[in-house]
């Protein structure tokens, strides 16, 4: 069975809340209209269609639009070797969606990272806490309204005490250059 055929089976089961599968560059995407049914759709995809591997969960910030967030689930079936992408929207008000850790345990860290970087909460998550930033950090760094220069902190020795510059900094890749080695950020870090 192809990825498109599997996506059509998923659409057949949840036709009222799933849009028609869209194929772009050989990849199949389904849009889920009701984020409240994400667990039900993912459970069916795993148990009935063989999507036994959750490759990734990502989030998009549609800053200025409502709903603001798009959550993207990348599914793969080891047995049939097919990929399918599920997308669903979450509004900024509440910024919450149910966890799929009960379907795939690997969702745990993906959801924690989305919470940490975007501030989207996963209802029912077994351990929803920050994974990259420290507890108590008041911002969500991957939101589009977070300034590129960073924000100052009152916690010296934990983070920068002033905004960290990005342009020309040691961790920013330089456009151009004679080859990829010259563009590599670590090349510009002075050696002591």
The model carries a pTM of 0.79
Exposure on the CB side of residue 8, measured as CA atoms within 13 A: 6
Q: What is the DSSP pairing of strand 121-123 with strand 82-90?
A: unpaired
Same domain for 96 and 37: yes
Provide the CA 151 distance to its chain's centre, in angstroms.
Answer: 23
Provide the number of structural domains found in the chain: 2
DSSP 93-114: TT-EEE--TTT-TTHHHHHHHH
The pLDDT of residue 99 is above 90: yes
Same domain for 161 and 139: no
Whether residue 118 contacts residue 133, with contact meaning beta carbons closer than 8 Å, is answered with: no
Give pLDDT tens digits for 56-78: 999 999 999 999 999 999 999 99
Same domain for 54 and 107: yes
Whether residue 171 contacts residue 150, with contact meaning beta carbons closer than 8 Å, is answered with: no
Same domain for 153 and 58: no
What ranges in 51-178 are assigned the alpha helix state H?
Answer: 107-118
Distance of alpha carbon 107 from alpha carbon 147, whole angstroms:
28
Containing structural domain, residue 155: 147-192
Give pLDDT tens digits for 146-187: 877 666 666 555 555 455 545 555 555 666 667 766 666 554
Is residue 61 within a helix (H) or strand (E), and if so which, with residue range?
A: strand 53-61
The CATH number of the domain holding residue 104 is 3.30.460.80
Q: Which one, of 54, 32, 33, 58, lies nearest residue 115 by Cα?
A: 58
Same domain for 30 and 41: yes
Same domain for 133 and 153: no
């Amino acid at each position: 069975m192809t990825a498109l055929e599997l996506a059509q089976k998923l659409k057949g089961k949840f036709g009222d809340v799933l849009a028609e599968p869209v194929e772009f560059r050989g990849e199949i995407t389904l849009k889920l209209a009701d984020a409240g049914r994400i667990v039900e759709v993912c459970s069916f995809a795993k148990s009935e269609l063989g999507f036994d591997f959750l490759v990734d969960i990502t989030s998009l910030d549609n800053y200025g639009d409502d709903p603001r967030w798009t959550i993207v689930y990348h599914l793969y079936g080891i047995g049939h070797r097919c990929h399918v992408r599920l997308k669903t929207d979450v509004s900024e008000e509440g910024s919450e969606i149910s966890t799929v850790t009960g379907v795939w345990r690997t969702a745990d860290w993906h959801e924690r990272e989305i919470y940490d970087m975007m501030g989207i909460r996963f209802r029912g998550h077994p351990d929803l806490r920050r994974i990259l930033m420290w507890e108590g950090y008041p911002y969500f760094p991957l939101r589009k309204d977070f300034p590129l220069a960073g924000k100052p902190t009152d916690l010296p020795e934990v983070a920068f005490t002033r905004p960290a510059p990005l342009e020309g900094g040691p961790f920013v890749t330089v456009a151009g250059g004679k080859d990829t080695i010259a563009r590599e950020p670590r090349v510009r870090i002075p050696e002591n």
